Structure 1
């Protein structure tokens, strides 16, 4: 089982008791505003998402981690890697992404978890480069990408929803520098 510890967090595979707290995060319109078409997800949709994330772990050797606070054991959200099939123009790149509950915003958890996931991608999984795809205007996610050392690579448009996206990238040589 893959588990990463940071000073304040545990990044780990999903447990059955993660469903309810992740569904609560996914049901928050402010959390979901920048994700997909901005729709919230219910309990069943969250269960399907976690199942997809776990399948990606089995198929690709990476996926989205559950992010747990080390001090309290609370589920803060998710962070990790996925194949961004919704945006074929960037394939075969692997995307890093994050989603935390509102009560965990503004405390550096997203950057801490994303840095650990990026290190996992580039050193443990041997990826040569990782991208981040953000909806334009999502300043919080743009800040995390900058903290990770990622640089803008291109702007594009979401093929289904039509809103503008920015693609940031970091490669192994930039990461090691």
Structure 2
């Protein structure tokens, strides 16, 4: 399936290229960027995650896009939609997520790219709902979820983390398509 590209006035959400692996690892290997995740990733783990994201694109034609500034930086981060591969009270579901490189944070890139991805999810894909989740301490992420119009729907224990892990508990947000 041909991967979708989404173009906005300032950003382009595009499929993956080989040269994206190094800047992705710069995020995934950075302790500050990964403080709300179970651990930083090694280069091999980061590359394996990118391979899973690319495989999702190959199967569906959409997923976590690379965010590029139009006429600027070729890699700002990744933002997109993904079928959740594990089971929880709200699955099956499509999640929206983001990881933005430190140099590009607090510039509105995550929100702008997320709005583009949501538009694609609700418009082109006609999804009935999109979810997002994070740990309660990740205020920048759940505040972005709220700015996107998502509403909180309680919490859940992440099934890929042990119950005694400090990041086991996650908050869930939902956004339902407006059809009209």
In the superposition, the TM-score normalised over structure 1's length comes to 0.91
1:169 paired residue number: 174
Could you say what secondary structure the match of 1:117 adopts?
helix
Q: Residues 94 and 129 of structure 2 are in contact (CA less than 8 Å); yes or no, is this contact kept in structure 1?
A: yes
Q: Is the aligned partner of 1:19 residue 2:24?
A: no
- Give me the whole-angstrom Cα distance separating, in 1, the residues matched to 2:82 and 2:9: 24
Q: Write the mapping of 1:67-86 to structure 2, written as runs, cut at 5 A.
A: 67-86=67-86
- Give me the whole-angstrom Cα distance separating, in 1, the residues matched to 2:4 and 2:82: 16
Q: Is the aligned partner of 1:30 residue 2:35?
A: no
Q: Write the mapping of 1:21-100 to structure 2, written as runs, cut at 5 A.
A: 21-35=23-37, 37=38, 39-100=39-100
Q: Residues 154 and 172 of structure 2 are in contact (CA less than 8 Å); yes or no, is this contact kept in structure 1?
A: yes
Distance apart, 1:64 and its partner CA:
0.6
Q: Residues 4 and 61 of structure 2 are in contact (CA less than 8 Å); yes or no, is this contact kept in structure 1?
A: no
1:5 paired residue number: 7
Q: Residues 67 and 77 of structure 2 are in contact (CA less than 8 Å); yes or no, is this contact kept in structure 1?
A: yes
- Give me the whole-angstrom Cα distance separating, in 2, the residues matched to 1:83 and 1:135: 19
Unaligned segments of structure 2, at least 5 residues: none
Could you say what secondary structure the match of 1:130 adopts?
strand
Distance apart, 1:80 and its partner CA:
0.6
- Give me the whole-angstrom Cα distance separating, in 1, the residues matched to 2:169 and 2:83: 19
- Give me the whole-angstrom Cα distance separating, in 2, the residues matched to 1:139 and 1:87: 25
Q: Residues 87 and 158 of structure 1 are in contact (CA less than 8 Å); yes or no, is this contact kept in structure 2?
A: no
- Give me the whole-angstrom Cα distance separating, in 1, the residues matched to 2:85 and 2:108: 28
My pick for the range that moved more, 11-20 or 51-60, is 51-60
Distance apart, 1:87 and its partner CA:
4.3
